[in-house]
Structure 1
Amino acid sequence: MQRNTLVSAAAAVVLALGGPVAAAATATADTAKTVPAATAARADVTAEAAASAALKANPGVIESLERDGSVWHVDVISKDGTHSELEVDSASGGVTKENQDDEQKADDYAGLLAAKVTAEQAMKAAVAAHPGKVWSVQWDDDDDDNGRAAYWDVEVKTTDGKTQNVHVDTATAKVLSSNSDDNDDGN
């Protein structure tokens, strides 16, 4: 008699839990089907967020940042001149260190390290002048030998679908010039 009571109690527990467990299993299966759609609907990591993530993982100054498919390539220079190449996943914001040059060459990056305007500030100035999304930013001091000062070169994909190349002053964050890759004469 006692055995029948235990079997009946166990069967009641299985039946009582069977409904919620089955419902949970169904919900989990439905959720699994919708996760890719939810992930696809999630907004991409912006250039500004990629810069922030890279600097959080590897403190320093951004030399360049560029979108390449599903990743952002970010070059960060530390105060001692160490050059690190990072990748920031454009979906998750996860940071991976790809390469690091430990030969300290702070002198090679003196202009960048002393600049008053950071890459992040240059991106803000470029987007203020040409609303859209930043696709790349790069420190450009190649023309120093020709008497031209260094500048930030920012590529913006504008809201009207064009690409603007914007040069931003490294001391004032003023837009020096801009031109469109789409043969648009407007600046």
Structure 2
Amino acid sequence: MKRNVIISAAAAAVLTVGGPTAAALAATGDTARTTTMATAARADVTAESASDAALKHYPGVVESLDKDGAVWHVNVIAKNGKNAEVEVSTAGKATTRDTDNDNNGNEYAPLIAAKVNAKKAMAAALAANKGAVVWSVDWDDDDDNGSTYWDVEVKAKDGTTKHVHVDPTSGKVTASSSDSNDNDDNDDNN
């Protein structure tokens, strides 16, 4: 009988001390899982992913995209020339910020007909700049000589940025004469 009392007392002591400790350890594990999931949810969306999310939200072709803080601003031109500015959050959620219902089909005809779209231009720029990430891309048809090209800004691991031009027909990458080596993460043009 005395042995059963001692075993019962020992079991009660283990449960009294071990219960809160086990609960604390379980909570710590849950917190770690929650923290990991929260960190994953805040993972930065790449330019390519932002482009995909914007086009899924508002079908058409990307005219431009740039990163402003943690948000991507993507200008999408529909096949009929109507356009929308789509914001893509760090979680990859796309929302329409502004739309222009003017029918500018003729103005955007070269962009819509381009063989090399924004996504292909980004891929070409990255292939020519190993280890870099795309920071912005713009369709440029206002050049003095009337040529059209993609202006892709890439950012190297050391924080330097540079612009490259991508031909919308061939996908050929050339260095821009307007390279920028600032470390500013925000677009000052907004």
TM-score range, shorter chain: 0.7 to 0.9
The answer to whether 1:170 aligns with 2:168 is: yes
Residue 30 of structure 1: how far off its partner (Å): 5.3
Deviations 1:100-139 (A, max 9, x none): 1112211111111111110000000111111211010000
Q: Which residue of 1 aligns with 2:105?
A: 106
Residue 81 of structure 1: how far off its partner (Å): 0.6
Deviations 1:157-185 (A, max 9, x none): 113432111111111110122464239xx
Q: How does 1:1-187 map to 2 (within 5 A)?
A: 27=26, 31-32=30-31, 35-36=34-35, 38-40=37-39, 43-90=43-90, 92-131=91-130, 132-143=132-143, 146-178=144-176, 180-182=179-181
Q: Distance in 2 between matches of 1:82 and 1:182?
A: 34
Q: Distance in 2 between matches of 1:122 and 1:148?
A: 19
Query: Which SS does the other structure have where 1:113 is aligned?
Result: helix
Structure number having the greater helix percentage: 1
Q: Distance in 1 between matches of 2:138 and 2:94?
A: 19
**Number of equivalenced pairs:** 159
Query: Which SS does the other structure have where 2:95 is aligned?
Result: strand
RMSD: 2.4
Judge conservation of contact 1:141–1:151 (CA < 8 Å) in 2. yes
Query: Which SS does the other structure have where 1:107 is aligned?
Result: coil
| Structure 1 unmatched ranges of 5 or more | 1-18
Residue 33 of structure 1: how far off its partner (Å): 6.5
Q: Distance in 2 between matches of 1:138 and 1:39?
A: 32
Structure number having the greater strand percentage: 1
| Structure 2 unmatched ranges of 5 or more | 1-18, 183-190
Identity %, equivalent residues: 50
TM-score (norm 1): 0.75
Query: Which SS does the other structure have where 2:50 is aligned?
Result: helix
Judge conservation of contact 1:130–1:164 (CA < 8 Å) in 2. no
Aligned residue type for 2:126: V
Residue 70 of structure 1: how far off its partner (Å): 1.2
